[in-house]
């Protein structure tokens, strides 16, 4: 999991994305209770303004949708059906941005407000610009679940673009990391461009010329007010992430040099007992958080570097590679060798 993403069990997201998708599922004849099975949520929860959901609940729902939906292309169609008004103040910030470039800046800066399931960055290659996606929650780029959330994001990204810049906007190409699924032809047709499967990266590409366009509803004065509101909401969102996220950020500050629990408590001007209690209230312990950080760093090292097991063990604070291998099996259920990219 990326360190800038909320922990999977943090209930801090508004349920608008899940609500929109379940309405589509129900329209296809799927029972709402079955679609929500395992999430701990009921349809009536969506009517309560205080309802917040976690990324894990959203991912459980996506797994249910994969199993229950009669349409293999459900995720992409659901994304394309999204409307910018479903995204509240975030969507309004995009609509009133005075330029397309500024809309891109706002889209990336305040994206945490949208309950993201995939990583996202904006890149430019000469005359081509692209939204680049990444597997932020470590779902596995070739798994059906990641394919589902990525196609959902692809459709949503294109829908928001068209709401801001016009319905005639078409992408140049789409690249995804997984092999062509049975509904590959539907993907190309729905996106209106070629789709490259088994790609080394995931991108939604456009002609860079649209960066010079002005959104039809752009308004600099309104945008300034809306941006201030988004900034306040983002601050509140970060505060809501709680003690667990603060501890993860502290442990990741200097990877491989993990400060002691007591030292962190002293730095934060609280007793270690208070820190343990605050973590327990969020369903975690110091050891659980440390294990999560070590596990994610180990996955990053195994996938993205050529470090051997001895070097990774040392970087994670293990005295022996055998201890690291044993811990990695406990964390992931597999040996380190299986996590390495071919």
- φ/ψ (deg, to 5) at 306: -105, 20
> How far is 38 from 33, CA to CA, in rounded Å?
10
Alpha carbon distance 152, 62 (integer Å): 10
pTM over 0.85: no
Domain residue limits, the chain: 72-237, 241-339
pLDDT for res 282:
77
Burial label for 87, CB within 10 Å (0-12, 13-18, 19+), is buried
Q: Which residues contact 134 (CB under 8 A, 6 or more apart)?
A: 2, 118, 119, 120, 121, 202
Angle at 261 between CA 259 and CA 266, to 5 degrees: 90
Q: Which structure tokens are listed for 23?
A: 């309405």
Q: What is the mean pLDDT of each run of 10 residues along the chain (342 residues)?
A: 68 86 93 94 85 89 95 94 89 93 93 91 94 94 96 96 89 96 92 95 95 90 90 77 77 74 85 88 86 86 85 89 93 88 70
Identify whether the C-beta of residue 158 lies closer than 8 Å to the C-beta of residue 204: yes
CATH number given to 241-339 = 1.10.10.60
Helix 144-165 to helix 55-68 angle (10° resolution) is 100
What pLDDT does 100 receive? 94
Closest CA to 148 of 77, 201, 83, 56: 77
Whether the Cβ atoms of residue 293 and residue 253 lie closer than 8 Å to each other: no
Q: How far apart, in Å, are the Cα atoms of 71 and each of 76, 78, 94, 156, 255?
A: 10, 11, 31, 17, 43
The DSSP-derived string for 148-187 is HHHHHHHHHHHHHHHHHH-TT---SEEE-SSPP-TTHHHH
Sign, CA torsion 133/8/307/247: positive
For residues 245 and 257, what is the distance between their CA atoms, to the nearest angstrom?
Answer: 18
């Amino acid at each position: 999991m990326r360190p800038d993403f909320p922990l999977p069990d943090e209930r801090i997201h508004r349920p608008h994305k899940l609500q929109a998708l379940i309405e589509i599922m129900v329209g296809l004849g799927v029972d709402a209770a079955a679609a929500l099975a395992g999430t701990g949520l009921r349809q009536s929860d969506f009517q309560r303004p205080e309802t917040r959901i976690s990324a894990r609940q959203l991912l459980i729902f996506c797994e249910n949708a994969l199993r229950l939906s009669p349409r293999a292309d459900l995720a992409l169609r659901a994304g394309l059906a999204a409307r910018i008004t479903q995204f509240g103040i975030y969507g309004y910030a995009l609509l009133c941005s005075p330029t397309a470039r500024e809309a891109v800046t706002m889209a990336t800066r305040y994206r945490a407000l949208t309950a993201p399931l995939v990583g996202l960055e904006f890149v430019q290659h000469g005359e081509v610009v692209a939204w680049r996606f990444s597997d932020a929650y470590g779902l596995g780029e070739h798994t059906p679940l990641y394919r589902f959330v990525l196609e959902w994001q692809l459709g949503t990204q294109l829908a928001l673009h068209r709401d801001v810049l016009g319905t005639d906007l078409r992408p140049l190409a789409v690249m995804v990391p997984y092999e062509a699924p049975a509904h590959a032809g539907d993907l190309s047709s729905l996106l209106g461009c070629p789709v490259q499967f088994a790609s080394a990266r995931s991108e939604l590409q456009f002609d860079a010329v649209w960066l010079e366009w002005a959104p039809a509803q752009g308004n600099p004065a309104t945008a300034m007010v809306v941006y201030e509101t988004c900034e306040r909401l983002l601050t509140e969102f970060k505060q809501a992430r709680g003690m667990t996220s603060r501890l993860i950020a502290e442990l990741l500050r200097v990877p491989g040099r993990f400060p002691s629990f007591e030292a962190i408590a002293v730095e934060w001007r609280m007793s270690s007992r208070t820190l343990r209690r605050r973590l327990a209230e969020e369903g975690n312990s110091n050891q659980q958080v440390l294990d999560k950080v070590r596990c994610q760093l180990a996955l990053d090292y195994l996938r993205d570097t050529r470090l051997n097991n001895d070097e990774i063990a040392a970087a994670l604070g293990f005295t022996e590679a055998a201890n690291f291998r044993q811990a990695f099996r406990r964390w992931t259920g597999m040996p380190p060798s299986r996590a390495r990219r071919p």
